[in-house]
């Protein structure tokens, strides 16, 4: 990630230096206006469908960051593969999930708790998204209407639970990091629409969150805002 950021900084410096002379200014201006949505940043509300009866969630949120490579197909259309990270935090209301390695159960189960909504299930994925894109302004992705549909495949890097409890009038935080219940891979359908650099997006997982679905079959979804550019 640091190497990517460093490379982008060098490219920015290069364009800035070119802009200081007449010919270089023209080339730099042309390169900057031919945006191809190289960078996607997404902030979302995340949800789980298929939760057991009585189990509710709170203000869940997620964040995705992807680097994409735009390949033109024909007028206004292109395909863009990419790579990046996706994170999600699901907050349970008065329930908890025992994710400890000492738990011998193979099926995830939710139990009631007095944590007052302070129980979080967090996941981090390495994602490979692919989009089919439409751009109204094919020369400049920073302007005009844009739409994209696609899929993404993700590999689970981390899954952990975090619970805040009150013990003897003191706050205690318990954290359990384990992927024992979770599918190592996720596959999701994606869609987004934008006007210029700002838009809306949505995703829906095509496979369940947990490995064992004999008792619960939960799928994840996200809706939110997207910032695209470069």
pLDDT of residue 192: 97
Q: What are phi and psi of 105, to 5 degrees?
A: -65, 140
**Confidence (pLDDT) at 22:** 43
Task: Give 30's contacts (C-beta < 8 A, 6+ positions apart).
Answer: none
Mean pLDDT of 91-104: 84
What pLDDT does residue 34 have? 57
Least confidently predicted of 82-86, 120-124, 137-141: 137-141
Per-residue pLDDT band at 117 (split at 50, 70, 90):
low
- The stretch 53-81 carries a mean pLDDT of 93
Mean pLDDT (whole number) for 21-43: 63
pLDDT above 70: residue 9: no
Average pLDDT along the chain: 84
- Region 113-118 average pLDDT: 75
Structure tokens at 87: 């994170």
For the residues 119-128, what does the mean pLDDT come to? 96
Looking at residue 7, its pLDDT comes to 42
**Residue 28 confidence class, pLDDT cut points 50, 70, 90:** very low
Nearest to 118 by CA among 184, 167, 183, 157: 167
Between CA 31 and CA 15 the distance in angstroms is: 8
pTM, whole model, 2 decimals?
Answer: 0.81
* DSSP H stretches of helix in 172-228: none
The predicted model gives 101-121 an average pLDDT of 81
Cα 130 from Cα 80, distance rounded (Å):
6
Question: Does 145 have pLDDT greater than 90?
Answer: yes
Cα 37 to Cα 35: distance, rounded to the nearest angstrom: 6
pLDDT at position 26 is: 43
The answer to whether 159 touches 176, Cβ cutoff 8 Å, is no
CA distance 199 to 42: 9
């Amino acid at each position: 990630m640091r190497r990517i950021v460093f490379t982008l900084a060098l490219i920015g410096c290069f364009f800035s230096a070119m802009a200081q002379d007449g010919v270089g200014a023209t080339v730099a201006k042309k390169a900057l206006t031919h945006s191809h949505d190289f960078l996607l940043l997404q902030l979302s509300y995340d949800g789980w469908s298929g939760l057991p009866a009585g189990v509710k969630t709170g203000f869940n949120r997620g964040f995705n960051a992807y680097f994409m490579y735009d390949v033109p197909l024909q007028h206004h259309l292109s395909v863009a593969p990419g790579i990046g990270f996706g994170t999600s935090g699901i907050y349970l209301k008065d329930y908890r999930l025992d994710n400890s390695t000492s738990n011998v159960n193979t099926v995830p189960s939710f139990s009631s708790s007095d944590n007052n909504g302070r129980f979080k299930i967090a996941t981090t994925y390495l994602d490979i998204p692919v989009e089919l894109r439409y751009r109204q302004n094919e020369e400049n992705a920073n302007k005009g209407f844009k739409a994209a549909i696609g899929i993404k495949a993700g590999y689970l890097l981390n899954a952990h639970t975090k619970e805040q409890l009150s013990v003897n009038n003191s706050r205690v935080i318990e954290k359990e990091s384990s992927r024992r219940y979770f599918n190592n891979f996720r596959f999701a359908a994606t869609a987004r629409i934008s006007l210029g650099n700002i838009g809306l997006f949505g995703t829906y997982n095509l496979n369940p969150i947990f490995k064992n679905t004999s008792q619960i079959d939960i799928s994840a979804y996200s809706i939110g805002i997207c910032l695209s550019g470069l």
